[in-house]
Structure 1
């Protein structure tokens, strides 16, 4: 089991003036203790379950560019981009740009979006669920097409592109790491089986069942289940201990997950997160 650092809460000591230096140090420290994956949320406001909407939230791709400049080896991506937040071609171009500038270390995490409050607040369209999933599949197909040498048009139900030119092309081959987040059994996990390099499933009591569903979708589409990177995600807070992290991560490993993205909520000193990771990593299965 591998621990990945998912940065979801930027409400750290020192406030906005200290946030840049603190984030740079945080990701450097993470790499120094052996963390090989770093991700950020793609939200405009803080989400419920982590903190009040009014607390600090950085725009994801600007933050990834900053993190890329302060790291050397870690895989970087969002966990996950809401499909309604960006036009597909711009999203593919942004990921490609970061992939090139970071030496092939940047991938795409994507999902169907869920936070209608921030979309309503900032004027982003938030279509019904069925349409968001249609847009998600088309966006994935557009990104995958743009990550090839094809310049053919794309004509979908929701998106029409006249020429899918993408230059420079990503350094990662055959394409940047592609994660689809979520655990919906009928749509999300079917898309994982058909298109993705990785899934991300919450580590709840039904996590094992979700993996069984993914396996069934792989059988249906003729995909090798073992090719897919099975990742999970869980939360720590000021009361969390090293034992808590080790117990949760190892229990997820026993179900078949290979990586756990761990995010902190309410921990105002990033060094506390690094210390917990540093003590937990040697004890993982």
Structure 2
């Protein structure tokens, strides 16, 4: 079974730059990971669209999604750059489409434009965005997805909905990739999100790294594709997994120390697949058997040590090429 792989760069959201004091050095650490991935067999690098850290909001660095996407595409040469995923609530969809079109040109067609409904209530309210009901957020997300697609595929798009309207906006250039920027829709909502993937998406991100959940969501997506007359095989089916590759027989307490920070090994192990290339590959094989064809990885501590990134690239990725 074959698959392609992406990796998140450290941008601060997951408290993954806190050991670096200077913000300029933090930015350079993020860029250094991007360049290291660009030099390897990775297909893509990824960023989050958040303003405040997790697991709780703190006064720590979180670099803004589209700003760093636009710089990372210029700091790299061949790798695709995406967001998992852009939050609809933070930008009008027409503006989102315009931004993505511009960045795709800057990237020479290497943009993976991620899009989702959003969920982090604290930062919505802190930044002055209205936190509406789930029904309204999903309704707005549905309309926004259609508007973005129209902005990329029509010269004089018109849309009048409950939440948004556009009246023949010019969007030139529409992007560099043909027929339009690659549209990655994140989320496993079975009635709205997966149907939007079937109608408009080039890729889905589902399952959260759980094979059973992935298979269930993929089956729902296939049903939507059948109803929409869409070829299911034309859609990339991705999922995300946190990994920390180690040598066989390694002292886990020692080798994970910097990546863990103050987190215990037990807690770290709950949230990450810590293992040898064989052990991590076995987990990936389960996901591929469930129908995944794209793995987006998060490697904790990579801002401080590139060794796990290189280990995954040399010992795991070639097995699925």
Please give the range of the TM-score, normalised by the shorter of the 2 chains.
over 0.9
**Structure 2 counterpart of 1:216:** 223
Give SS of 1:232's match: strand
Matched, 1:255 2:297: no
Correspondence list, 1:11-160, <5 A: 11-12=16-17, 13-15=19-21, 16-48=23-55, 53-160=58-165
8 Å contact kept, 2:9–2:33? no
Q: Which SS does the other structure have where 1:161 is aligned?
A: strand
| Runs of 4+ more than 6 Å apart | none
CA change 1:165–1:112 in 2 (3 A) is same
1:34-70 CA distance string (max 9 Å, x none): 111111000111233xx76443311000010111111
Report the number of matched residues: 283
Q: Given the alignment of the two structures, is residue 241 of structure 1 paired with residue 268 of structure 2, yes or no?
A: no
Relative to structure 1, the CA distance from residue 253 to residue 54 in structure 2 (aligned partners, 3 Å threshold; closer, same or farther) is farther
2:266 matched to 1:232?
no
- The alpha-carbon deviation at position 264 of structure 1 amounts to 2.8
Cα gap change, 1:194/1:152 in structure 2, threshold over 3 Å: closer, same or farther?
closer
Q: Which structure has the larger Rg?
A: 2
Asked if 1:200 is matched to 2:205, the reply is yes
State the alpha-carbon separation in 2 of the partners of residues 8 and 86 from structure 1. Answer: 23
Q: TM-score by structure 2 length?
A: 0.82
Unaligned segments of structure 2, at least 5 residues:
245-255, 257-268
SS of 2:237's equivalent in the other structure is strand
Structure 1 alignment gaps of length 5 or more: none
Contact conserved, 2:113 with 2:181, CA < 8 A, in 1? yes
Q: Secondary structure at the match of 2:41?
A: coil
Change (3 A) 1:81 1:8: farther
Alignment of 1:282 onto 2:318: yes
Question: How far, CA to CA, are the matches of 1:242 and 1:176 in structure 2?
Answer: 36
Structure 2 residue matching 1:107: 3-state secondary structure: strand
Alpha-carbon spacing, 1:8–1:131, altered in 2? closer, same or farther (3 Å): farther
Distance 2:101 2:214 in 1: 32
Give the TM-score of the pair, scaled to structure 1.
0.92
Shift of 1:148: 2.5
Contact 1:26 1:270 in 2 (8 A): no
> How far apart in 2 are the matches of 1:122 and 1:271?
34
> In the alignment, does 2:9 pair up with 1:7?
yes
CA distance in 2, matches of 1:207, 1:54: 35
Aligned to 2:115, the other structure's residue is in SS state: strand
